[in-house]
Amino acid sequence: MTTDRLADVSTGTDTSDAGRDSVDYAESRDTTEGRIYHVSGGDWDDVLEDAQHDERIVINMGPQHPSTHGVLRLVLELEGETVTQLRSVIGYLHTGIEKNCEYRTWTQGVTFVTRMDYLSPLFNELGYCLGVEKLLGIRAPRRAELIRVMLCEINRIGSHLVYIATGGMELGATTAMTFGFREREEVLHLLEYLTGLRMNHAFIRPGGVAQDLPTDWKEKVSEFVTTMDERLPLYDKLFTGQPIWRNRLKGVGYLPVDACLALGVTGPVLRSAGLPWDLRKIEPYSCYDEFEFDVPTSTEADCWGRYLCRVEEMHQSLRIIRQCLKKIEPGPVMVEDRKIAWPAQLSISSDGMGNSLEHVRKIMGQSMESLIHHFKLVTEGFKVPAGQVYSPIESPRGELGFHLVSDGGTRPVRVHVREPSFVNLQSLPAMSEGGLVADVIAAVASVDPVMGGVDR
């Protein structure tokens, strides 16, 4: 929409030219909050008009398609089997998470952001909480930071396993799906044991983590590492050395390093083009600077290189987890400041939810002031000093950054996310145009987009 046809939404006044009835871009109606426009997706006719060529056809791939990693819609213009133009269409999974965060307390925002990239929820929580902690001028206790690192690396392995499982299934390797999801169950069982939930944990919170780990967490994590050490080599046997798999990915979805930088692409896609850009090494956050690990790279710059990078990244994550087992020592898991720590001295009830009755009686029996403080901390939340911050971390898909703005209140003024899947999707036309339509499937799988993060 051009600027001379915009309406002042805050006042409801129309600033467009006269005589616009016949050329309205969208229907509008006035509400108590201002003027609202209703825009419908009418792009299909425009696409068809652009593609009036005798030898070319336009097809829809998605949003309901088994090979588009969720509700991604690809509009392909084909000349025979060759893709001459690709358009990616998003928005089919829009949840308004960023906007919802403005109507919740800083702690409640964790429950929203964890649902964005639903394959790596702990990374969403960590990036958001690091931003809140920067605004507060605090740092989580060392035990909490190490727990965060360990949980994120476990989560990274699970995310990469889904990439192999779904990517393999889309290319006809159904064994990849059964193997990948078998191993992912190990990840989800462990995360459920450590945090209480398989997904959308809301376990990492401003100031630390929700509660301490179970007493036998070391044994459980050690068993997981041993299991993954045994099973990961199977992927090399089944895929890396398999000529059909290699030939299906080599030379497909080519995107060199200069194209990655021009499009803002990060993560395994960028590292597969030869640039070892990993925020855990480049700009260490939490306590990653204490860990020894390598950043896998490749010079293939294609689907094959991305596969190799992700498989090696799982080995490196196991390496970090082993170091966490040695580094994590007893200590607090939440900041001592009782005006920030939430929930206050949590004691889980028998159903695994909320506070136990004994703890409630203890709070109520201590003093009226402690009860009022507990109530206000949970319902109103803590205040965050005015300011803004950008907090980037390295998620399984690339740079995940949170831009948080505070006006000094108990709720964010603005939460905006630099989501790697959203940015990386820009690379699909460059990867796919000029190639075969069958290779579009491999290219999409190699980007590994999660539409919950794209549409958020």
Do the Cβ atoms of 274 and 301 come closer than 8 Å? yes
Query: How many helices (H) and strands (E) would you count in the chain?
Result: 18, 12
Q: Indicate the angle between helix axes 217-235 and 174-195, nearest 10 degrees.
A: 170
Do the Cβ atoms of 110 and 402 come closer than 8 Å? no
Strand partners, 388: 405
Cα–Cα distances in angstroms (integers) from residue 367 to residues 153, 348, 373, 403, in the given order:
42, 21, 10, 39
Amino acid at 381: G
Q: 190-193 long-range contacts, Cβ below 8 Å, gap at least 24?
A: 190/154, 190/220, 190/221, 190/224, 191/122, 191/151, 191/154, 191/155, 191/158, 193/217, 193/220
The pTM of this model reads 0.84
Which 8-state DSSP code applies to residue 22?
Answer: G
**If DSSP codes are grouped into helix, strand and coil, which group holds residue 88?**
strand
d(C-alpha 81, C-alpha 79), whole Å: 6
CATH number for the segment(s) 97-336+383-455: 1.10.645.10
Query: Both tokens of residue 333?
Result: 């898991």
E-strand spans in 171-221? 204-205, 208-209
From first to last of its 456 residues, the chain has per-residue pLDDT tens of 433 333 443 444 444 444 444 445 567 788 876 777 666 656 656 655 665 566 778 888 878 877 778 889 998 888 888 899 999 888 888 889 999 999 999 999 999 999 998 999 999 999 999 999 999 999 999 999 999 999 999 999 999 999 999 988 888 888 888 999 999 999 999 999 999 888 998 899 998 898 889 889 999 999 999 999 999 998 888 888 888 889 999 989 899 999 999 999 999 999 999 999 999 999 999 999 999 999 999 999 999 999 999 999 999 999 999 999 999 999 888 888 877 876 545 555 565 556 667 766 776 666 677 777 777 778 888 889 999 999 999 999 999 999 999 999 999 999 999 999 999 999 999 999 888 998 999 999 999 999 988 988
- Whether cis (ω within 30° of 0) applies to the bond prior to 330 is no
Nearest to 213 by CA among 144, 268, 264: 144
CA dihedral sign, ordered 378, 112, 358, 151? negative
Domain range summary for the chain, segments of one domain joined by +: 3-89, 97-336+383-455
Burial profile 140-173: b = 16 or more Cβ within 10 angstroms, e = fewer: bbbbbbbbbbbbbbbbbbbbbbbbbbbbbbbbeb
